[in-house]
Amino acid sequence: MPSQPSRRTFLRSIGAMGLAAYALPSGSAAASPLPPGNPWARAEYISGKVRSPHLLDRSYDIRQLAPSATASPTALKRSSGPSRPATPQAAATWSCQPVGG
């Protein structure tokens, strides 16, 4: 049998939407900073919460990945699975020199 909320549950949730659902800042039962009855308050909440990640103020030129200043090849070691994402390494797979065109 399909394991979904029943239509009764769904309609009840819609009916309650204007009163309560927007009161939750997330799917959790956390306390609400949002006023009830104004769904767009939730949009403002999302806009305020989703920000650029904090990234360190350091930069590396991709050419620094090359094993030496004169060596052209560098590599992105490819992962063997999702738990081992790729890491830059000095091995010859991908050119770090500009390509033509």
Partner 1 sequence: MVVPAGRWLTGPIHLLSNVDLHVTADAVVLFSRRPADYLPAVLTRFEGVELYNYSPLIYAYEQENIAVTGSGVLDGQADMETWWPWCGAAKFGWKPGDPRQTEARNALFAQAEQGVPVEQRVFGDGGYLRPSFVEPYRCRNVLIEGITIVGSPMWEMHPVLSENVLVQGVTVSSHGPNNDGCNPESSRMVVIRDCTFDTGDDCIAIKSGRNADGRRVNVPSEDILIEGCTMRDGHGGVTIGSEMSGGARNVFVRDCEMSSPNLNIALRFKTNSVRGGFIEAFHARDLTIGEVGGSVIDINFFYEEGPGHGFDPMVGDIDVRNVIVGNATRALNLRGHADDHIRGITLTDIDFGATSQPNVVEYVDDLVLKNVRQNGVELVI
Q: Residues interacting with partner 1, by CB under 8 A? A: 1-5, 7, 10-11, 13-14, 17, 21-22, 26-27, 39-40, 42-43, 46-47, 49-56, 59-63, 76, 78-83, 85-88, 93-96, 98-101
CB of 83 to partner 1, least distance (A): 7
User: Measured from the CB atom, is 68 or 83 closer to partner 1?
Assistant: 83
CA distances (Å), origin 67, targets 13, 53, 78, 87, 93: 60, 30, 17, 14, 12
What gap in Å lies between CA 101 and CA 34, rounded to an integer?
54
